[in-house]
Structure formats: structure tokens, C-alpha cells
Structure 1
Amino acid sequence: CLCAFFLTLLPLPVITPDFCDLRAAATQPRLIPFESVRDIGRFAADRGLSMSPAALLRNSAFYQVVFNFLLLMPLGIFLRYLYQIGFGAMVALAVATALFFEVTQLTAVYGLYPCPYRLFDVDDLWLNASGALLGYLVAPLLFFLPDLEQHRPQRAYETVDPARRLAAFVIDIALVQLLVGVATLPLSNVTWSRELLHWVIVAIWFVAVPLLWQGRTLGKRLLRIRLTGADSTNEANGEAMAPGLAQLIVRYAVLLAGPALISLLFNRFTQPDADGWVEGFLPLIGLLLLAAEAIVLPGFVLLRSDHRGLHDLLAGTTHVAVSQEDEHTVKKATDKSQPKGAR
């Protein structure tokens, strides 16, 4: 999926004075469905080609449609083979992933560039998503792949290693960025409103959702892990209890808001003066803060035997694995935690 994302962005262009003038065509989204399919006929007509199979092999517009369709097919195979997710979840993830790619292009990599340099095309949405769904449907036909349930030891479910946590976190961050990009499009000229809405979405995703979903975000659910209180257990069944509101706020304040504040301070400390110089020790302080952040946050996770980061230690939280057999138990607890009218 990461390789597919890079294919939609790279190579990153150099910003020049005429950057937007050279890419004027990419600034207007293409919202007419099946226009890319019509491009195949237009390309053939312009070059005097027929629509025969042999001629299609010389039609670059045909290749664009085919490879857009194939782009996310491995994602569908991967998610069904490794995680056995349901079809509804696959539809949601396929659409969300394709939409994330397109919104990233439409927003010029979320404001990193002065204007889009890749075209937002509604056809790419359905082609990418359809390819992922086809991958999901054909995954059972790959009978030559080993049966993971037989070959994977039970300990693989019980152990929550840093790679598994990182994968869940990357999924969550990608989906949050997608939501932020879509939600803030109408607010492109109001900076403070964009920032406020950004942090509201972050709070809902990382605090409100785990509160209602027994310590799980969507990323954690896909990777079958959840947050719990490090020292809290349910007296009735001895299982670890989900973290409370205060624990979630502390955890994500350290994990997300802390690094954001450090980056803000670094940018503030390195603002040049009227002559273009950056003076004093403040830039050095900002650099030291960034270095400390880059060392401390992953350092705790990698060096501790329980892989609890600084944010987990301060919040009193940890991760536990949720096997397929435990899914119904977590679902029952989730249903009980919600008001009757919300079910």
C-alpha cells in the first residue's frame, strides 16, 4: 500500500516561480465518470488505431486504466489472506484508501505545494477501489499459499510487537489525514479554523472512538490489538479493562500533541530576521528538542521488554492482542458500554 501511495506522488517536483502555470491542467479536478475509458477511444482515434486487442497494446490510455485498476489489488489480497476481514470492511478500506490518494493529490500534498501537480480524477477512485475488491474476491483462489492458521503459533496473537503497533498507528494516521483533508477543503483560506478542525478530528479518532470501542481504533482493530489499562482488570472475568478518558488524553497528548508542539517551537525558533539570518541559541534548543523526541519516543518502545513507550508509561496503558475467538467478547463489551439508543 505504501508503494502504491508513492506511485501516486513521486517524483516530487521542484517548486519554481512558474510551478502552477506549468500545471494548470492539474488544478481542475476531473469529476466526470468514465472519462478515462473514453480517453482510450480518443487516443485510438487521434493515432488512427483500432480497438482490437493488438491495437490496445499500443494505447497508453488503455494502460493507464489497467494499471489504475491493478494498483490496489494486492491490498485486497493481503487484507483477506492475513486478517480475514469481512467484505463490508474491505469496501470501506478500499474506498478510503483510494480517496486518501486522490485527496492527497487534490490538496497538493496537504498544502506542501502551492497547487496540485497530479490530477484528481474520479475514475481513479472507482478503478483503485474496484481493483482492491477484486483482490479480496480472488484471494481464496490462491490455494498454493500456506494456511496461516495452521502454521502461525498462538503466541503470534498474544504478542504485540512494535511493528504491529506501528502498522496500526500508520493506518490510523493515514485515515485521519484523509478525513482532515476532506473536512478542511472548504476552509482553505481560514488557517485557525483548519487547525481547530484538525485537532477535533484527532481527538474524536484517538480519544472518543477508543472510549466507545473498548480501547480500539480502526487501525488497532484491523491488526487485532487494543489498548488497556496497565494495572486494571475486570474482577468478574479477570480480563484487562479498557483505558479511561484521562488515560487516553494523557497518552495521545504525549504521543501526538507533544511532537506537534515541539515542531511548532522549532519552526518558531528558526524564523529568520529581516536580513535572512537565524541567530542565538534558540535554534539549537529547537534542534535538541527534535532530537530528543526522535530518540525518546521510539527508544522506550524498542528497549523495554514490554514495549511500552513513554506515552504508555505516563498514561498507565499497554497493548494486548485480540484473537478471532475474543472478537465477540470485545463486541459484547462494546455494546454494553453504549446507550441503548446508540445501538
Structure 2
Amino acid sequence: MGEWVWPAYVGVLGGVLLFGVFMVPIVAVQYRMYGRFTWRRFLGAAGLSVYGVALVAYTLLPLPDPTLLQCPPGGSTFQAVPLQFLDDIQRETAGLGITGTLASRATLQVVFNVVLFIPWGVIARQYLSWSMPVSVLTGALASGLIEATQFTGLWGLYGCSYRVADVDDLITNTLGALIGALIAPLVLWFMPQRGELRASRGQSRPVTVWRRWLGMIIDYAALAFFGFAFVVSYRIALLTLGAELPANGDGTSLILMHLVPGFLVFYLPAIVGSGASLGQRAVWLQPQWPAARRRALLRASVTGGLYTALTFLDGLYPSAGFGFLNSLLLLVALVAVPLTRSRGLSGVLTGTLMVDARENARRRVAGSDVQAE
């Protein structure tokens, strides 16, 4: 049973790590799609991550050592006889009783292939809100992709298949997806449906401390992502052109890592539209102030701009204490939110209130209706 248990551990560990990497984008997308945060769909995304990694682990791992892989004379093998597993079970359990037959490896292999794709049907039908045919069809397509990956030796990375591609796996996996889709309403009865959540997407909600903090987290996650992407792209471009890679901490890399992302995350949104940062827009927040664009730029400079400048200076002068000042700034910015009724440090210093963007939109519509009358 060990070979059927260890992929479960890989799925849990790898799924948790994968979910941790994409946790902030998942929350941001959830807010934009549904207008609010829901714990049940958040935990559903975690379960989806674990299942996805476990599915890969069970079907494609472990990868063999290419030097030890012995390819048959005909190359990759494919079992193309439908329901061949019935003959295999009959042959391997000849002379055994019912208990022995049910506990045999051949029987358990078939049962496991069905069980492996039951979560697919459950997730597709009840979490992703796909129809029954689409849930089953996507399960069949996923199984077919797995079998093709096995048959081609990881799409040519190996000289032949390192696992036997089997049409019976496709049949049993599809059956599992069908069973999962049928029982999905019973298994995930507590899961809010996408259509129901989208129906209340436009409803304004209170500006809470947690919502303000979440917007800040999204901002700084976007800042880190853009910085990493720009620096990696810059170094790949240098390698492509045959240029020598600069040492860590060079001026161009620091600008791409800190200043350019800071402009994109904090300053560009401040001069476009509502003036809200990327994170604030993600959670439907919007600053409200007297009509003056310079206040938007000032608010962007108080925390986001100052944070960007301090990280840039810390990269130039690592021992000058700018890193400590940055940590202190973040601490003050976080603590200020609950102490200022969710206005935050930048809001207090610039005379800004933070409101729900949907409420502002409704007021504008109501005002235009009054003027039209």
C-alpha cells in the first residue's frame, strides 16, 4: 500500500505550498468576482490545490532515472483493449474467494482509478458550477492528457513511456468523474454557488479593518511580483543578447525591482480613475476627498511611495538602516488602520476617507438621475 499512500503526502504538502503561493491572487480574484470574501470558497480553493498536486503525484510520479529506463524494442506501449481489466482480475484472482478477489491488487487498481477522479466531478460540478456533461467531459479530457503524457514519455523527455498507457484508465477515470458529478450536491452542499455570489456582487459592504489590511497585502504582493518579473526578464534579455550578467544590487536591477513596480502599483493608479491603488481596487475600496488630484499623489507617497523609496535605498546602501525604517513604516501603517476607523496613515495625513467603490457608483448614478429629472 506504500506506493498508493506516499502520493497523498506529496499532494497535501505540495498543495499547501501551491495554495500559499497563489493565496493572495486567489483572494483578490474572489473579491473581484463576488464582491466579498467567503471562507468556504477560500477553503475550497485550498482543497482544489491539494487535489491537483495529488493527481499529478499519483499519475506521473515518481519520475525514473533516464539512465536506468529500459525501453522495449517497440518503444512505448499502449493497452488499447477496452475492459481488459476484467480479464486481468479473473486471471489474477483465480481460485480466490470473494474477500481475496476484492482485496487483490488488480481489483484495487480499478477501484482506485475510479476513486481518483471522483473529486474531479465533485469540484467541477459544485465548486466550479460546471454542468454535468462538462464536468464529465473535462474529467475524460484530463485523463486522456495524463495517458498521453505517460505514453509519450513526458512528451519526449524520456525515450519511451515509463508507465503503461491504458485505455481502461481512461474509462475508469471518466466513470469516477461521472460519479463525482452525480454526488457533488450531496458532498459539497455547503459550498456557495458562483451564480448566487455574483448576484450580490454589486452590493456595497462596510469598510472593515481586515478589508483595508487585505488591500495593503495585495498591493505589496503585486509590488514584489512585478519587481521579480522585471528583474528576471531583464536578466533573461541580457543572456539572450550574450551580455554579461551584472552583479547583484546593480542600479538597473534595483530600479526594475523597486521604482518601476512602485510607480505601477501606487502612482499610476493614483492619477487614473478613482485614485485607488491596485489592492484597494481589488477589494472594492475607493478614496474619497475634495477634488484635488495632488491629494491622490500625496496619499500614494505617504506609505506606498515612501516604502518604495526606502526599499530602493536599502538596496543601494544595505547597512544604512533603511530596512529598519521600512519595517517601522509597515508596522505603523498596519497599526494605524484600526486606530483611525480604517482611514489608515495616508488617509489621516491627506484628509482622505475610504469608502466602498460600489456605493460611490450608486451615488453618481442617483445624482445623474436627479439631474435628468
Q: Same-fold call, TM > 0.5?
A: no
TM-score, scaled relative to structure 2: 0.41
